[in-house]
Amino acid sequence: MNEPGPPRLKIIYILGSTQSGSTILDMAVGTASSAVSTGELGHIFWAFEAAREGSSSVTVPNCSCGLLVTQCPLWSVVWAEMAARGNLREFEEENRRFETTALSVPTAVAARLAHSRAFARHLDELGSMLRSVARNASAGIIVDSTKDPGRGWLYSLLPTPEFDVRFIHMVRDGRSVLSSMMVTSQPDRFNSAPSPWPPPAAAFFSTLHWIYMNLHASILGRANRDRYLRIRYEDLVSHPLETLESIEAFAEIDLSESRKRVTAGKPLSSGHLLCGNRSKTAPTLKVQASGRSRSSLSRGPELIFLLLAGWLQWYYLRPSVPKGPTGLRTQKARRNLTSSHFEGEKRS
Ligand SMILES: [Zn+2]
């Protein structure tokens, strides 16, 4: 009789645009028992660089536990283990090439087709890092809201006997995303400030970002249909319980504690989030039990967004309840219509 192998490490990777609410989703999923919220795990090099340089940024050098990443009981140990494997500099360079730049996806695809040793080494190191996070956080589920499409592709290539990767694509109305993105820019590597760009330019580039990140997420979802779920930010904040139930069913995890906290109006677990959109003074966030986000975008930028991205916005936000002879095809669809909360895909 065969011995059962070690349990698979579940990775929940959140995709989507900046300012789409991925941090709050990270925390909601990371409140599951045996899970750890890691925030933007793919930006760990950035966080340690900011800590080393004594950056005044509120979020970049600080873990959500309130400590500098160099002092955090999780990240300081994970970093030391990465360094002990002896290839920290290579890992950082490959992280940039294959994960974080605008051309990282074609670069990674070309490297894989060419059987690049650097690519294989990077994938190995990524697996080692995930094992290190799981071991030191005593977690069987890692939630990563880096959102970079390159990292998503790498996760999809992790060996399935050991890793169980699920993708959650968070879509937010692009007009709300733009109204957040347009008021800030990044004058240096670690800090945000009011945007110096005129509104039309800021709207144009913010719209391109929204299209790029969401299209990549959808393409990744097409290639990984069995492990991809798309949800809407507006549904998470207006119908949090039903949306969490959908995630629970899709990811096969227990989110009862998250639902309990939402119902009681208590904050979600903040875990050890890296980077992301959070406040130093409020390391925990609450899911709002009601209310929808409203766009405060002025007419000009809204027109630019709708002209460039209206087609994709329509695709994501259109009503999509499947119909059958009785109007609704499945029990699940019926439930979805009742709560009008969920637009996603799970095919198994
Ligand atoms: Zn921490």
Spacing, Cα 209 to ligand 1 middle (Å):
29
- CB of 184 closer than 8 Å to CB of 197: no
Spacing, Cα 92 to ligand 1 middle (Å):
21
> Is 98 among the domain residues?
yes
- Find the helix packing angle between 75-84 and 44-52, rounded to 10°: 100
Identify the weakest region by mean pLDDT among 87-96, 129-138, 160-169: 87-96
Spacing, Cα 112 to ligand 1 middle (Å):
34
> Is 347 among the domain residues?
no
Question: How many CA atoms are closer than 13 Å to the CA of 337, on its beta-carbon side?
Answer: 11
> Is 3 among the domain residues?
no
pLDDT at residue 286, as a whole number: 54
Q: Which of 253, 235, 254 is CA-nearest to residue 243?
A: 235
Mean pLDDT of all residues in 93-101: 91
Q: How far is CA 233 from the centre of its chain?
A: 12
Spacing, Cα 230 to ligand 1 middle (Å):
29
Q: What's the mean per-residue pLDDT of the chain?
A: 83
pLDDT at residue 179, as a whole number: 86
> Is 346 among the domain residues?
no
- Find the helix packing angle between 174-181 and 299-317, rounded to 10°: 140
> Is 1 among the domain residues?
no
Spacing, Cα 25 to ligand 1 middle (Å):
18
Per-residue pLDDT band at 102 (split at 50, 70, 90): confident
pLDDT at residue 345, as a whole number: 38
Q: How far apart are CA 68 and CA 330, in angstroms?
A: 49
Mean pLDDT of all residues in 235-241: 89
CATH of the domain at 162: 3.40.50.300
> Is 201 among the domain residues?
yes
pLDDT at residue 87, as a whole number: 77
The CA–CA distances, whole Å, from 311 to 13, 224, 230, 301, 316 equal 26, 23, 17, 16, 9
Spacing, Cα 179 to ligand 1 middle (Å):
30
Spacing, Cα 20 to ligand 1 middle (Å):
23
Q: Give me the number of domains the chain comprises.
A: 1
pLDDT of 285 strictly over 80: no
Task: Say if strands 184-185 and 193-194 run parallel, antiparallel, or are unpaired.
Answer: antiparallel
**DSSP state letters, 303-317:** HHHHHHHHHHHHHHH
- CB of 216 closer than 8 Å to CB of 198: no
14's tokens: 């959140």
Q: How far apart are CA 220 and CA 35, in angstroms?
A: 24
Q: Which residue has the higher pLDDT, 196 or 306?
A: 306
Q: Write down the pTM of the prediction.
A: 0.86
pLDDT of 208 strictly over 50: yes
> Is 22 among the domain residues?
yes
Spacing, Cα 65 to ligand 1 middle (Å):
4
Please, which residues bridge with residue 232 across strands?
A: 171
Task: Mark residue 252 as left, alpha or beta (left: phi above 0; alpha: psi -120 to 50; beta: remaining).
Answer: left
Q: Which residue has the higher pLDDT, 258 or 55?
A: 258
Domain containing residue 37: 9-339
> Is 327 among the domain residues?
yes
Spacing, Cα 71 to ligand 1 middle (Å):
8
